[in-house]
Amino acid sequence: MSASLALRLYRFAYVAFIVYASGRTFLGAHGLAAGAAPHGHLGHLVTPAFLEALSGAEILAALGFLVRRIEVYAGFALLAVYATAAALDLALGEVPANLLFYAATAAFFLAIRRAGMEGAPATPA
C-alpha cells in the first residue's frame, strides 16, 4: 500500500468516526444536556440546542474535510468545534483527552495539505 493511499484511508476513517460520534451526540443531546446541567459553573449552558448545533457543525465540517476545495476551511472549523467542546469539558470537570487527539489528527491532515503531500499542491508558507 502506498503512503498516499494509507493517508486517504486514514482520513476517511477519521471522518467516518467523527460523523458517527457526532451523530450519537446529536441524537442524544437531550440526555447529555440533562447530565451536564448539575455539574460545574457552565453546566447550565449545555442545552440540547447547543449540543445539537455543535455536533451538527462538527458533522458538516468533518464531511467538508473530504472535499479538497474546502478541506482547509473545514479543518479549521473542526479545530474550533474541538476547542469549544474542550473548554466545556474542562469547565464541567472532565479531561478532554479525546478532543486533543481529534484536534491533533485534524492538524496533521492540515499540515500534510500544506506540505503538498497526499497528492495536493503545496501551499506557500
The predicted pLDDT at position 93 comes to: 81
DSSP designation for 90: H
Q: Are 117 and 96 in contact (CB under 8 A)?
A: no
| CA-based R_g, the chain, Å | 16
The predicted pLDDT at position 89 comes to: 85
**What φ, ψ does residue 122 adopt, rounded to 5°?**
-65, 140
Higher pLDDT, 42 or 103: 103
CA pair distance 29, 101, nearest whole angstrom: 22
CA pair distance 113, 11, nearest whole angstrom: 12
Which pLDDT band holds residue 83 (cuts at 50, 70, 90)? very high
Lowest mean pLDDT among 43-47, 65-69, 70-74: 43-47
Q: What is the average pLDDT across 24-41?
A: 68
Is the whole model's pTM more than 0.85, yes or no?
no
Q: What is the average pLDDT across 49-63?
A: 93
The answer, yes or no, to whether residue 27 has pLDDT greater than 90, is no
CA pair distance 56, 7, nearest whole angstrom: 25
